Structure 1
Amino acid sequence: MTTTALRILVVTVVHDPEDARIRYRQIPALREAGHAITYAAPFHAFGRTVPTGVHGIDLPRATGRRRLVAVRAARRLILKVGPSADVILLHDPDLLLAAAGLAKRVAPIVWDVHEDTAAALSMRSWVPNLLRRPLAWAVRLAERLAERRFHLLLAEHSYRQRFRKAHPVVPNSVRVPADRPEPPGPDRVVYLGKISRARGGEEMLALARAVPELTFQLIGPAEAALRPQLAAAHRAGELEWFDFLPNEQALAKLPGALAGLALLHDEPNYARSLPTKLVEYLAHGVPVVSTPNQTAVDLVERSGGGAVVPFGDVSAAAAALRRLAADETRRRSRATSGYDYVAAHVNWNRDGAEFVRVIEGFSRS
């Protein structure tokens, strides 16, 4: 690692400033290496505060079709702060437009690719159906242009096929606790992350009603269409919905759970991206119940950490949960195997050092 402290500008206008990859993994890793961080994000729009030890700059939020104001604000920021930075780390494809034409006027620009934006267009309700194919083509073109002008950092090995050049990969791993977590209990099911239809929100509501003997805890903000249903289910005692919780508080609710849910739909973006929530469950000693997106299947099979059920099959998910609840040996073996696998293979305690090395290398290019 470099012995020189770098000035790193981290920018997002799309992600929640509490995004775990940005806020709880990348920024701490850079700070632990002695680097100074300026974090520009939509703090006010999300109701978030700036992390301790970081210089924060508030930006507008890019959401739905309202994105241009945020892009323009980000461009002004990059022009103002970028020349005095050593590295600029961008987290949204929107910011490729904000940084267009600035590569020679500011510090080296790095785009952290942690979503397949073109594949995800099928889940964006604000995109008209007629525009999805041309927009996907435009996104792919933007990706080609980006790798000519900027540095790329990939969060998934599968993303390599989208690009012509070789780019470093730092997986979207999690911080795995050094001590083995407490064993899973018999009656509490958890979900951690944003709640949406595409992420199985309606199936989780149905599942809580189908298995009333278990307690369901859903932790995370929900899309507008599901909020009334979740609030009603919470009031009726069918489940506990915590809405947004800070990362540390959310993770603290995982140990001791019977199972963690990841009932994602059959969407192209989910097939190529590892659901981080699965890794977080396993890292905290919680067996998983997942739908069969390929990356999820690979993780469950390699780790031995849980069960895979068909898309949209609430009955199959209920049966998987009841099997775990009835068999202590089964759930403990799944938890132990899953924890051991992610500790060895999907661990930010190791990957964080590689991330810092990559960013430091970009600063010298």
Structure 2
Amino acid sequence: MASSPLLLASVLKPVDDTRMFEKFGRTLASRPDLEVHIAGRRAPHPRNAPSNLHTHELLDGSRLSWRRLAAQWRYWKLLRTLQPALVVVHAPELLPLTLLWQRFGRRRRFLYDVRENYALNILTQQVYPHLVRQVLAKLVRWAETKAARQAYKVILAERSYAEELPFALPERTMILENKYQPQPHEAAPQPKQRLPAPHEPLHLLYSGTISELNGVLEALEFTRQLRTLWPGAHLTIVGFCQQPALLTLLQAAIANAPGVVTLIGGDQLVPHADIISAIRRAHVGLLPYRPHQSTWRCLPTKLFEYVAHGLPVIIPDNSLWINYLQNDSIAVVCRDFTSMEAVQDVATALSKTRFYPHGIPANVLWQSEATKLWAIVDSLQ
């Protein structure tokens, strides 16, 4: 394995993506005899990247750009140039070329990292017209099913995928959840056990993908109502929005409430290190997700990130999240992020609760998943 490089690749995910770079990339590059290459959407080469971890641009453009076709050609050139010992495919659209590459060579092995239930998301999230959704979902599921038969291992980012995906056979799959991977030399965070008093400033945070499904509008309304009880409440939204109409609506709402909301990113990708800095500055993390079959059975990356930094979180009434946290002193459940009565209940809980009485739980950290990743890679020797 040490004589040939490893390639991790996506198209839409940036080269500094939290899962592909921070978790898989840094873990594999921790062995200095391995050369690790990461290919994805254009982003600055990550700060403090190990010397044996290299990045390559596959896409410089939007998700609906024709440049996605050129990304396929760049990926094929990388496969031919690097001749990797192992490829970790982080996007289904790269599966056909990966299968072709494997077919015309010996001992060419790959892992398929299933980060989403892609076919379900395409069918239910209404990004594309109805007929296009039907065709795309069938093509994706066909490619995934074929690739699952040829992959050395199929990796699942969510436990629920083991039940949802027909190609995820137990003997060929491994679950690696999106737990938090601390930055190199990152100091252990101190949990925020007590929040400021209601007459003091309170910093709320919404981070990650900016979308209606993830509840960004609910975050705005929650903050507006909370300020009637907690006048110093301020919301920071940090992340990338792929929907121009939603971004315009969001910017107008922010302009109409000066000093209440800060937007970082919006139409620009935000480096993960900047998101982590925002988490460290915040008092409370918001996860106002709307109930939807494509997300409701998943544990969001930001949930691991918030808890790993000792940040109290406000979550919807999702039994999976509640059971995972197994501690009423980490999360406050909000029945309805737009209801004044529910917001009042949350405000009372925030002001009275002593959070993280037992410290930060270890089950939110990536180390447990890194051990499983190494078990897969070492079995290739």
1:233, distance to aligned residue in structure 2 (A)? 4.1
1:207, distance to aligned residue in structure 2 (A)? 1.9
Secondary structure, aligned partner of 2:348: helix
1:94, distance to aligned residue in structure 2 (A)? 0.8
Partners of 1:158 and 1:353 lie apart in 2 by 21
Match of 2:143 in 1: 142
Partners of 1:287 and 1:50 lie apart in 2 by 28
Larger RCO (CA within 8 A; separation ≥ 6) = 1
Secondary structure, aligned partner of 1:307: strand
User: Gaps (5+ residues) in structure 1?
Assistant: none
Match of 1:197 in 2: 212
Work out whether 1:210 is the aligned partner of 2:215: no
The 5 A counterparts of 1:1-365 are: 4=2, 7-34=5-32, 35-43=34-42, 47-49=43-45, 52=49, 53=51, 54-60=53-59, 63-64=63-64, 66=66, 69-70=69-70, 72-81=72-81, 84-106=83-105, 107-122=108-123, 124-151=125-152, 152-161=154-163, 162=165, 163-166=168-171, 167-175=173-181, 179-183=188-192, 184-186=194-196, 187-212=202-227, 213=231, 214-223=233-242, 224-235=244-255, 236-243=258-265, 244-255=269-280, 257-301=282-326, 304-310=329-335, 313-315=338-340, 318-327=343-352, 330=353, 332-333=354-355, 335-337=356-358, 339-341=359-361, 343=362, 345-361=363-379, 363-364=380-381
Query: Normalized against structure 1, the TM-score is what?
Result: 0.85
CA contact (8 A) 1:219 1:241 kept: yes
More helix by share: 1
CA contact (8 A) 2:307 2:364 kept: no
Q: Using a 3 Å threshold, how does the CA distance of structure 1 residues 192 and 65 change in structure 2: closer, same or farther?
A: same
CA contact (8 A) 2:308 2:364 kept: no
Partners of 2:58 and 2:283 lie apart in 1 by 40
Letter of the 1:13 partner, please give it: V
For structure 1, which segment, 47-56 or 151-160, has the greater mean C-alpha deviation from structure 2 after superposition? 47-56
Query: Normalized against structure 2, the TM-score is what?
Result: 0.81
Letter of the 2:261 partner, please give it: L
Partners of 1:96 and 1:312 lie apart in 2 by 40
1:50, distance to aligned residue in structure 2 (A)? 5.5
Secondary structure, aligned partner of 1:217: strand
Across the aligned residues of Structure 1 and Structure 2, the Cα RMSD in angstroms comes to 2.8
Q: Using a 3 Å threshold, how does the CA distance of structure 1 residues 39 and 256 change in structure 2: closer, same or farther?
A: closer
1:64, distance to aligned residue in structure 2 (A)? 3.4
Q: Using a 3 Å threshold, how does the CA distance of structure 1 residues 73 and 297 change in structure 2: closer, same or farther?
A: farther
- Deviations along 1:80-117, whole A, 9 cap, x unmatched? 135x2111111001111232322233531111111111
CA contact (8 A) 1:13 1:71 kept: yes
Partners of 1:173 and 1:6 lie apart in 2 by 28
- Deviations along 1:220-271, whole A, 9 cap, x unmatched? 1223222223333444222111225422232122236332111112222212
- Deviations along 1:260-303, whole A, 9 cap, x unmatched? 11111222221232111111111111111112445323324457
CA contact (8 A) 1:207 1:317 kept: no
CA contact (8 A) 2:119 2:138 kept: yes
- Deviations along 1:170-196, whole A, 9 cap, x unmatched? 221113677351425321211121111
Partners of 1:108 and 1:251 lie apart in 2 by 34
CA contact (8 A) 2:157 2:176 kept: yes
Partners of 1:148 and 1:201 lie apart in 2 by 39
1:198, distance to aligned residue in structure 2 (A)? 0.8
Letter of the 1:307 partner, please give it: V
Partners of 2:324 and 2:101 lie apart in 1 by 40
CA contact (8 A) 1:189 1:259 kept: yes
Letter of the 2:84 partner, please give it: A
Secondary structure, aligned partner of 2:360: helix
CA contact (8 A) 1:220 1:245 kept: yes
CA contact (8 A) 1:171 1:346 kept: no
Secondary structure, aligned partner of 2:178: coil
1:319, distance to aligned residue in structure 2 (A)? 2.9
CA contact (8 A) 1:71 1:98 kept: no
User: Gaps (5+ residues) in structure 2?
Assistant: 197-201
1:210, distance to aligned residue in structure 2 (A)? 1.7
Q: Using a 3 Å threshold, how does the CA distance of structure 1 residues 303 and 118 change in structure 2: closer, same or farther?
A: farther
Between Structure 1 and Structure 2, how many residues are aligned?
Answer: 350
Secondary structure, aligned partner of 1:340: coil
Partners of 1:153 and 1:305 lie apart in 2 by 29
Partners of 1:297 and 1:215 lie apart in 2 by 26
CA contact (8 A) 2:287 2:313 kept: yes
Structure 1 stretches (4+) deviating beyond 6 angstroms? none
CA contact (8 A) 1:300 1:308 kept: no
